[in-house]
Amino acid sequence: MTLELVTQNKVAGGWHKQYTHVAKTLGGCNMRFAIYLPPQASSSHPVPVVYWLSGLTCTDENFMQKAGALKTAAELGIAIVAPDTSPRGEGVPDDENGSYDFGLGAGFYLNATQAPWNQHYHMYDYIVDELPALIEATFPVSSQRAIAGHSMGGHGALTIAFKNAERYSSVSAFSPICNPMNCPWGQKAFSNYLGNDRKTWEAYDASLLLAKAESVVPVLVDQGEADQFLAEQLKPETLEAAAKRGGHTLTLNRHEGYDHSYYFISSFIDEHLRFHAQFFKGL
């Protein structure tokens, strides 16, 4: 698979690079991702990877430029991969009204089943299968993976980890959409991407998946108490209840005064990287 280098910058002793490639799982559209390779990464010393899934309207650039994560990633010897949030390009459908919470920039990390979205909107397959295979075949990284995300990306990280415990050593999220079946963002996305049969929505609801899971990887969630989307869209209490019903351990930290922004993420991203480092072998 051909990769095209877009930009590269040395940072914290390692390299931040952006690439584009044609994504088969997304109907052949051209996708961009960013990777940070810490200074320890080499062919003789492959490093583990944290996959970061961003939220609504974001691209690969939001996390890499705003989170302030790269110095700690360099210290720990962890690579970070940040994909885009949806398929892009000519012929990829978007919301006809141009709304921010559906269509381009709002792929919700699922496999769409409804036309016209089902041709390109297979972000679940892209994140779980195609992208890691590409990363591990191209860069000096190991098959050790963790997954993390923010908001819509937090939803994606949690659901992907709960459905694929054998693929990830840990999962973390900032301000995740915890119960999308029962919030406006999720209901809009699911009804369009998946249709009106709510039973099919359950495969992408973190709270339902956690309640039913036989076992889960270690889970860390941070939530700001001043988040403007907390009550209507995020609903972390549903994740807590699900963990209790399923008998699973969940670390959910609530932070007074913090909102939904990258100011919040940058305040606690180091703790998340150190959390994941605990479960990577050889670090």
**Which residues are the active-site residues?**
151, 227, 260
Q: Other CB atoms closer than 10 Å to residue 278's CB: what's the count? A: 11
Helix or strand (DSSP H, E) at 6: strand 4-11
User: Do residues 64 and 33 lie in contact, with contact meaning Cβ atoms separated by under 8 Å?
Assistant: no
User: Do residues 15 and 29 lie in contact, with contact meaning Cβ atoms separated by under 8 Å?
Assistant: no
Helix or strand (DSSP H, E) at 128: none
Residues with Cβ within 8 Å of 165's Cβ and at least 6 positions away in sequence, in order, are 213, 215, 216, 217
Euclidean distance between CA atoms 224 and 232, whole angstroms: 14
Question: 147 is written with which tokens?
Answer: 């997954």
